[in-house]
Structure 1
Amino acid sequence: MSTLNLETTARIVAAGREAATGIGVAMSIAIVDPAGNLVEFQRMDGAWLGSVDIAQRKARTSALFPMPSSVLGEMSQPGGPIYGIETSNGGLVSFGGGFPLAAADGTVIGAVGVSGGLVEQDVAVAEAVVKAV
């Protein structure tokens, strides 16, 4: 697989939804293409309204800078090499819950962003999506 299609995105979002249900937290789950454009999105019943934007921005962050959003956050701390980057590209999110999605050969095919719980919960659900790819 070198690109994301709707069948794949529906399947991997379902894996994320199952993980979120398993920990009892309603989440917003966004899948974007390598350019950060939204491909698939689901907001579970009861997920915070603010999680919609955050999930999409986490996914976009990890697509535009192919790394976990938390790594970008570590590098963008005061005194860090990319301090202030979160204000670029229309606003990035620099804490956990965003991950690039890669094909078997390592090519980045998109990214996932999850929001709705504590950062650790968002990361766990996003990791379930990554694993489902």
Structure 2
Amino acid sequence: MTQLQLSDTEKMIEFAIAQAHTLNVTVNIAIVDTAGHLIAFQRMDGALVGAIDIAIKKAYTAALFQKPTHELGERSLPGQPLFGIESSNGGLITFAGGLPITFSENENVEKVCIGAIGVSGSTIENDLSIAKAALRL
């Protein structure tokens, strides 16, 4: 798999929703390709409308930088080397809930980023837990 297929994203969304139900929360889930273009999106019943854009931007941020959004957030605090990065690229999100989606043909080959997922609508801890569940991490 060198690129995400719609069928892959549908499974990820199913895993994410299952974790959201376990946590008794409703969220928005966005999956993008490596350029940050939306492949799949799901808004659970009752999920916050304002969190739609945040989920998409979390996925976008994780895809562009191939890093979890919370790691970028740690490096973008005042005095840190990436301070101000969130205002680049049309606006980024640098708190938890965005993860790169990586793939490797086998354990001897380095993983490559093939997209990203963003989850928003609950606490950042729950959003991250749901994103990890979607990727089976």
Instruction: Give the structure-1-normalised TM-score.
Output: 0.97
Secondary structure at the aligned position of 1:102 is classed as: strand
Secondary structure at the aligned position of 1:54 is classed as: helix
Question: RMSD value over aligned CA atoms?
Answer: 0.9
Task: Tell me how many residue pairs correspond in the alignment.
Answer: 132
Gaps of 5+ in 2: 106-110
Matched-pair identity in %: 47
Instruction: Give the structure-2-normalised TM-score.
Output: 0.94
Equivalent residue, structure 2, for 1:98: 98
Q: Distance in 2 between matches of 1:91 and 1:53?
A: 11
Q: 1:126 aligns with which of 109, 113, 131?
A: 131
Q: 1:1-133 residue pairs with structure 2 within 5 A?
A: 1-105=1-105, 106-131=111-136
Q: Distance in 2 between matches of 1:130 and 1:109?
A: 12
Gaps of 5+ in 1: none
Q: How big is the shift at 1:19? A: 0.5
Q: Distance in 1 between matches of 2:135 and 2:91?
A: 23
CA deviations over 1:87-120 (Å, ceiling 9, x no partner): 0001000000000000124110000000010010
**Counterpart residue identity of residue 33, structure 2:** D
Q: How big is the shift at 1:2? A: 1.2
Q: Distance in 2 between matches of 1:104 and 1:19?
A: 25
Secondary structure at the aligned position of 1:9 is classed as: helix
**Counterpart residue identity of residue 39, structure 1:** I
Q: Distance in 2 between matches of 1:128 and 1:104?
A: 19
Q: Distance in 2 between matches of 1:22 and 1:51?
A: 20
**Counterpart residue identity of residue 74, structure 1:** E
Q: Distance in 2 between matches of 1:81 and 1:26?
A: 34
Please identify, of 98-107 and 23-32, the stretch whose mean Cα deviation from structure 2 is larger. 98-107
Q: Distance in 2 between matches of 1:50 and 1:31?
A: 17
Secondary structure at the aligned position of 2:8 is classed as: helix
Q: How big is the shift at 1:131? A: 1.4
